[in-house]
Chains A and B, each alone.
Chain A
């Protein structure tokens, strides 16, 4: 069975602080995909990143960076110099090859001015 754990239910930081959101996953598949989505207060899901299991290269996109560690089954997400607009619920998700998504419970990030 596939499972995604996001142990941090809520995080509060002050603007300009760095923050890391943790994601740990379980799967028996050798081919799988990991995702991060942002859900702002408006409710839609905003795609942030997709990573396949064969690509362990870390990725940086502006203030966002992702650390994929297959050895620890983790796919952590770091926001550098956080801003108030980063306040949202962030979901990590896992998908097997050609299968539906399994979402984590989400981490609510509040960035205070």
Chain B
């Protein structure tokens, strides 16, 4: 029973390039959350998606960042024209969305983005 999978685990980009981070939720999970962890800080919520819908993007920067969770395939967090300040660990979490079980989220191993 595979957990939440994220790839790549490490990503290096030069300033101005695009970064694509992928998250495959646990089997049976239809809700995905993205969090960002800047160096030496805690995790900050970015966006919450269900299949084909963005439910809450209140934590997403207004420019250059976008997220999707298509009907088929993984969720994608896309960062256009990366800058050094985007260097961080990006964690994905998934849940069943079953309210009877509360909000039990399972976290992936994270993608560490380094912008040169």
A residues contacting B by CB (< 8 A) are 33, 37, 43-45, 47, 50, 52, 91, 93, 95-106
SS class of chain B's interface: helix, strand, loop or mixed? Answer: strand
Number of interface residues of B (CB under 8 A): 24
SS class of chain A's interface: helix, strand, loop or mixed? Answer: strand
Identify the stretch in B20-28, B39-47, B75-83 within 8 Å (CB) of chain A at 4 or more residues: B39-47
Closest 9 A/B residue pairs (Cβ)? A103-B42, A100-B45, A103-B43, A45-B107, A95-B103, A105-B42, A44-B109, A106-B42, A33-B102
Q: Once the chains are docked, how many angstroms separate the CA of A46 from the CA of B112?
A: 17
Flag whether B69 is at the interface (Cβ < 8 A): no
Contact partner of B105 among A44, A91, A101, CB < 8 A?
A: A101
Q: Which of chain B's residues 68-110 have a Cβ closer than 8 Å to chain A?
A: 89, 91, 93, 97, 99, 102-107, 109-110
Total contacts A-B at CB 8 Å? 55
Contact in complex: B44, A103 (CB < 8 Å): yes
Q: Once the chains are docked, how many angstroms separate the CA of A102 from the CA of B45?
A: 7
Q: Once the chains are docked, how many angstroms separate the CA of A98 from the CA of B103?
A: 5
Determine the chain B residues whose CB is within 8 A of the CB of A99 once the complex forms.
Answer: 103
Determine the chain B residues whose CB is within 8 A of the CB of A47 once the complex forms.
Answer: 106-107
7 A-B contacts (beta carbon < 8 Å)? A33-B102, A43-B110, A44-B109, A101-B35, A101-B43, A105-B42, A106-B41
Contact in complex: A105, B41 (CB < 8 Å): yes
Determine the chain B residues whose CB is within 8 A of the CB of A102 once the complex forms.
Answer: 45
Closest to B97 in A: A98
Determine the chain B residues whose CB is within 8 A of the CB of A103 once the complex forms.
Answer: 35, 42-44
Q: Once the chains are docked, how many angstroms separate the CA of A34 from the CA of B70?
A: 30
Contact in complex: B109, A101 (CB < 8 Å): no
What per-residue 1/0 map shows which CB atoms of B3-28 lie under 8 Å from chain A?
Answer: 00000000000000000000000000
Determine the chain B residues whose CB is within 8 A of the CB of A33 once the complex forms.
Answer: 102-103
